[in-house]
Structure 1
Amino acid sequence: MLSRRLFSRAKLLKSITRASSSSAASSPTPPAVVNTPAPVTGQQAPNYPTTWSANQRPRPTAADGPRFEQTTMAVQPNPLSAMDLIANEPVRMIHGRKAVCDGGGGPLGHPKIYINLDQPGPRACGYCGLRFEQVHHH
């Protein structure tokens, strides 16, 4: 897509230079100015302050199909992000040296993993993000 634009602009530029060089004896004509519209920018999702990458589309322009034509983003509910939901979950205190996490919910969970709790501080599950910490006995 980008190469097509560059090719068409190069072709336009070449034709303009040919026309100006052939009519150099006559009155000079200014080159044609191509106006491109400015990109549409919108608000970022309220539950995350910035975009993750430079090519991410902002939230209001992400849902621009006919289904979302009359959706006013200001009155839509703002659910918490997954990061906030996990941060609100309390740390589970374990009496042993290792924790076992399977995500809960039976078949809706994840593979069972064992988390080493020898180091101080909470340790997170790599699948679901639940945190576990060893109860230290003094």
Structure 2
Amino acid sequence: MPSRQLEAKAVAPASSTATPVPKVESQTPAELPQAPNRKEIWSRSQQPRSEAMTGPRFEQTDFDLQPQSYAAIELIHKQPVNWTHDRVVACDGGGGPHGHPRIYINTDKPEIAVCGYCGLPYVRYVPYGLDIQLIY
């Protein structure tokens, strides 16, 4: 039985007029913005994008083609304040599968109470005669 050769032999180039392949350097810019509307980090547990997007996982990633969503921190500040007469309000983020677990927020203090999940602001109506200033 004849033996088969499993590996192909390397073929030498016929001429030396072949165009050399240019070496592609990393396209990562030195300064990557966190989001189009934010320049710096907004949480203590967050790393700057230039530090977070390193290592072998992001080696050949072109960051110009990656989506850069807007930071929701400024969008949530545009939400109107929910005024209530109750001392405790329940927030479930809209309910259903798109919401979050129901939490109860104390609105006794004369300041805007914010939901820890979705960031919706709540404040209690104060009786007449009390002059307070809301802190946000």
Measured against the shorter chain, the TM-score band is 0.5 to 0.7
Structure 1 residue ranges without an equivalent (≥5): 1-36
TM-score with structure 2 length normalisation?
A: 0.53
The residue that corresponds to 2:30 in the other structure is 41
In the alignment, the residues of structure 2 paired with residue 70 and residue 40 of structure 1 have an alpha-carbon distance, to the nearest angstrom, of 9
Root-mean-square deviation over aligned CA pairs: 3.3
The residue that corresponds to 2:78 in the other structure is 88
Secondary structure of 1:48's aligned partner? coil
Aligned match of 1:120 in 96, 104, 110?
110
CA 111–64 in structure 1, closer or farther in 2 if over 3 Å, else same: same
Q: Does 1:53 align with 2:43?
A: no
Residue correspondences, number: 92
Aligned match of 1:133 in 103, 123, 135?
123
Looking at secondary structure, tell me which structure has more helix per residue: 1
Secondary structure of 2:52's aligned partner? coil
Amino acid at match of 2:47: S
Percent identity (aligned): 35
CA 40–119 in structure 1, closer or farther in 2 if over 3 Å, else same: same
**Segments ≥4 residues shifted beyond 3 Å:** 62-65, 68-71
The residue that corresponds to 1:15 in the other structure is none
TM-score with structure 1 length normalisation?
A: 0.53
